[in-house]
């Protein structure tokens, strides 16, 4: 269940540890209200991480599923104790158990599932 581990590392004290979970040719798309970030390598994702500001953020997963080599998660982003929006993320897992592709959508304007 690499997606859960990825989010835990992204929320931890050292988000760069998430890089250990990515294939070298990792591809990603992170869609945010102000625009998206995408890339085609672990190095591109490291660049994305380097550009992020330090924040008190956590991802609260409320739905999770696995279907073959695809994992999906839905939940809420909490910044400084305040919910800032909802996310829907999916990852394709490589045969080696690492993240091969990642797609994530975040919105502050709509909740698919009511927050518990």
22-37 pLDDT, tens per residue?
999 999 999 999 999 9
Local confidence band at 6 (pLDDT 50, 70, 90 cut-offs):
very high
Tokens of 106: 């975040």
Contact status, residue 2 vs residue 73, Cβ threshold 8 Å? no
Mean pLDDT of the chain: 94
- Is the backbone of residue 13 left (phi > 0), alpha (psi -120 to 50) or beta? alpha
pLDDT given for residue 42 in this prediction: 96
| CA dist 47 → 33, 42, 61, 96, 115 (Å) | 20, 9, 25, 24, 32
| Higher local confidence (pLDDT), 55 or 15 | 15
pLDDT band at 59 (very low <50, low <70, confident <90, very high): very high
Q: Is-above-0.85 flag for pTM?
A: yes
Find out whether 98 and 23 touch, Cβ atoms under 8 Å: yes
């Amino acid at each position: 269940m690499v997606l859960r581990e990825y989010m835990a590392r992204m929320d931890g004290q050292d988000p760069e540890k998430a890089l250990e979970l990515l294939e070298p040719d990792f591809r990603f798309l992170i869609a945010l209200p102000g625009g998206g970030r995408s890339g085609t390598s672990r190095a591109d994702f490291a660049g994305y991480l380097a550009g992020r500001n330090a924040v008190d953020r956590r991802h609260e997963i409320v739905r999770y599923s696995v279907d073959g080599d695809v994992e999906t998660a839905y939940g809420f982003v909490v910044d400084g104790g305040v919910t800032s929006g909802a996310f829907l993320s999916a990852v394709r897992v490589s045969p080696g158990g690492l993240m091969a592709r990642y797609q994530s959508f975040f919105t502050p304007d709509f909740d698919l599932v009511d927050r518990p």
